[in-house]
Amino acid sequence: MAATVNLPSVLARLAADQKSVQAAGSTLGEVVSDLTRRYPELGPRLRDEKGQPYPYVIFYVNDEDVRFQGGFQAPIRDGDEVVVVPAIAGG
């Protein structure tokens, strides 16, 4: 399965200045692992030391907040769009 991962500017710098990256995996966690393998500096920005998502870095798969979809266990299908958003906004 291949998904398109859209990164904010602050993370794109760690992925060869690409704001949109293809990554493979059948779950979001696998997609993040694929990204981390190819762009090692992204890893510690996307998941904590236990391999879990940070509370302040939010992932959306096809506009759905993955915190309601099983987190890193959220399934990924071919052509899915993943958006990464730092959770600093609100109010």
Judged by the rule CB under 8 A, the positions of this chain that interact with another protein are 6, 8-11, 45, 54-58, 60, 63, 65, 67-68, 83, 85-91
Question: How many CA atoms lie within 13 Å of 28's alpha carbon, on the beta-carbon side?
Answer: 26
In the complex with another protein, which residue's Cβ is closer, 13 or 24? Answer: 13
DSSP string, 47-78: S-TTSPPPTTEEEEETTEEGGGTTGGG-B--T
In the complex with another protein, which residue's Cβ is closer, 24 or 43? Answer: 43
In the complex with another protein, which residue's Cβ is closer, 46 or 76? Answer: 46
Of 57, 53, 62, nearest to 82 (Cα)? 62
